[in-house]
Structure 1
Amino acid sequence: MGYILQAACFSHIGSRRGNNEDNFFFNGVCLEEEHKSTHDPLLLERVLQEDICFGVFDGMGGESYGEQASFAAASEMQNQLEKPKRFYQTGGKYLNNLAQALNGAVFRRGQELLASRMGTTAALLYLSGSHVYACNVGDSRIYRLRERIFAQLSQDHVSAWPSASGGKALLTQHLGMNPEEVQLAPYIIKDDLRKGDSYLLCSDGLTDMVDNLTLSDILSRQTNAEECAQALLKAALDGGGRDNITAIVCKILGSSF
């Protein structure tokens, strides 16, 4: 059975930030290193005959380092996806190798800039054949809506204890860690591809502003990926827009024949 994929992507600076530390990989496109927002959602609709991969990245490190970290990950993802996939690699193994390559690229960029705390989260979605693979590092999330059941497929890599400043819990995993000192352990899950499913990849600029019930409601009510993306952005901005907001929506519309 062939499926039709409809997808939309946006990245917005938010209402209170002076720069956008988020980035994405969407149909071969990522934001430039110095960027603010996408003017309109990027759109994609195609028959799923070939594998396709999406990514959302939320950079960190202060000054401009967050932007450079997320850009390093997104641009390296482009480089890696241009390489032929080894025929014996499963989707999970492929994503693990991809995450390791992205980690190395971000770490090397941090070394070049003498920015030891530079890093980025990653939320990756890989559609291959009749399966979907979700992979994350950090706290950028991946959700699935299936038959009105909204589920988080990703796992937050955060400390059990709050930060010393009283803010959000610290990340225990992120891209940009020294591979000789810390083992990158991306969380990877395999899922079956089904007609009617919706997937959401997003930075915490969305999930901190919009609760799960509202996210589920938007994905349920909006059958069009572009309208869904627009509704998600509006909800995040209406909720305060305190951080950069980036999301990719993927809808599996059904059989192509």
Structure 2
Amino acid sequence: MTLKLRSAAVSDQGLVRSSNQDSVHAGEWLVAVADGMGGMAAGDLASEITIEAISGLDVPTADDAMVVALQGAIEVASGRIREAVEEDPTRQGMGTTLTALLMSVSGTCLAVAHVGDSRAYLFRDGAFAQVTRDDTFVQMLVDEGVITAEEASSHPRRAVVTQALQGDTVRAAYLTVEPRPGDRWLLCSDGLTNVVRADTLAEVVSGYADREACARRLVDLALRAGGPDNITVVVADVVPDDEV
């Protein structure tokens, strides 16, 4: 049985920001979310550059080439961000997160690439789990046992990222997962996760069969919670080829 990836994406400016600095791609082989660094110069351009660079991977890719392909696309994105800053010094400091999911042509492998504090979650067999680790100051404090995960959610420095695509060398995290029929992936910017609890995310992800309706409901919940940031959501399902 060949497995395929099918996805839907919704992005919203939110109720406070003057523009939407998030960018998103929801394709046949690739889904990705990039969150331009708020308050920085041209964060929207950084996220746009990154999604444009990585969207070239939305093609059939062999299992053993996926991580290398993601690494190459991230290097291209970083180089283009660096060039954009060199062209206009007022863009100094612009940057973006990136969380991307790539399905192999065989349907037997998924590769995840991650930088920053956007997230990927996997809902499988009734269990909902965060797959990526935030590159943030508060996550570092949690890892060191200084604060709890619950304390991190309301910490005044929770928005401080320790790593992002800004034109310099970056150590992105990569992992591979064997997909199963019925898997549902959620990729999102922190405009969702900063205001909607994980148990609520799980309830919606498991409760809405329609991908677009699920994504819209999650965005709506973030807006109801005040929508203090841009909100971008991708819901991607792993389905048998005969259901496509």
TM-score scaled by length of structure 1: 0.80
Identity of aligned residues (%): 31
- Alpha-carbon spacing, 1:209–1:2, altered in 2? closer, same or farther (3 Å): same
- Alpha-carbon spacing, 1:168–1:89, altered in 2? closer, same or farther (3 Å): same
Shift of 1:14: 0.4
Q: 1:2 & 1:241 partners in 2: Cα distance?
A: 39
Answering whether residue 173 of structure 2 is matched by residue 187 of structure 1, we say yes
Where 1:256 maps in the other structure, the secondary structure is: helix
Answering whether residue 46 of structure 2 is matched by residue 69 of structure 1, we say yes
Q: What does residue range 10-159 of structure 1 map to in structure 2 within 5 Å?
A: 10-27=10-27, 52-60=29-37, 62=39, 65-78=42-55, 80-81=56-57, 89-114=64-89, 115-128=91-104, 129=106, 130-159=108-137
2:122–2:184: 8 Å Cα contact kept in structure 1?
yes
After superposition, the C-alpha distances for 1:159-206 in whole angstroms (9 at most, x for unaligned) are: 2369xx943352221112323xxxx11111111111111001110001
Q: 2:125 & 2:38 partners in 1: Cα distance?
A: 39
Q: 1:199 & 1:83 partners in 2: Cα distance?
A: 19
- Read off the aligned partner of 1:215 and give its amino acid letter: L
After superposition, the C-alpha distances for 1:99-130 in whole angstroms (9 at most, x for unaligned) are: 22222222221222212211000010001121
- Alpha-carbon spacing, 1:256–1:105, altered in 2? closer, same or farther (3 Å): same
Q: 2:45 & 2:102 partners in 1: Cα distance?
A: 24
Residue of structure 1 equivalent to 2:188: 202
- Read off the aligned partner of 1:110 and give its amino acid letter: V
- Read off the aligned partner of 2:17 and give its amino acid letter: R
Q: 2:51 & 2:5 partners in 1: Cα distance?
A: 21
Q: 1:198 & 1:88 partners in 2: Cα distance?
A: 20
Q: What does residue range 173-252 of structure 1 map to in structure 2 within 5 Å?
A: 173-179=163-169, 184-252=170-238
Q: 1:83 & 1:235 partners in 2: Cα distance?
A: 33
Answering whether residue 157 of structure 2 is matched by residue 167 of structure 1, we say yes
Count of aligned pairs: 226
TM-score scaled by length of structure 2: 0.84
1:69–1:118: 8 Å Cα contact kept in structure 2?
yes
Shift of 1:249: 0.5
Shift of 1:210: 0.7
1:126–1:134: 8 Å Cα contact kept in structure 2?
yes
After superposition, the C-alpha distances for 1:6-45 in whole angstroms (9 at most, x for unaligned) are: 3110110001111111011223xxxxxxxxxxxxxxxxxx
Say what the alpha-carbon RMSD is for the aligned residues. Answer: 2.4
Q: 1:255 & 1:186 partners in 2: Cα distance?
A: 31
Q: 2:58 & 2:229 partners in 1: Cα distance?
A: 32
Where 1:178 maps in the other structure, the secondary structure is: coil
- Alpha-carbon spacing, 1:203–1:196, altered in 2? closer, same or farther (3 Å): same
Larger fraction in helix: 2
- Read off the aligned partner of 2:109 and give its amino acid letter: H
- Read off the aligned partner of 1:7 and give its amino acid letter: S
Where 1:213 maps in the other structure, the secondary structure is: helix
Q: Runs of at least 4 residues of structure 1 off by over 4 A?
A: 82-85
Q: Unaligned regions of 5+ residues in structure 1, if any?
A: 28-45, 47-51
- Read off the aligned partner of 1:118 and give its amino acid letter: M
Higher mean alpha-carbon deviation, 144-153 vs 108-117, is at 108-117
- Alpha-carbon spacing, 1:138–1:94, altered in 2? closer, same or farther (3 Å): same
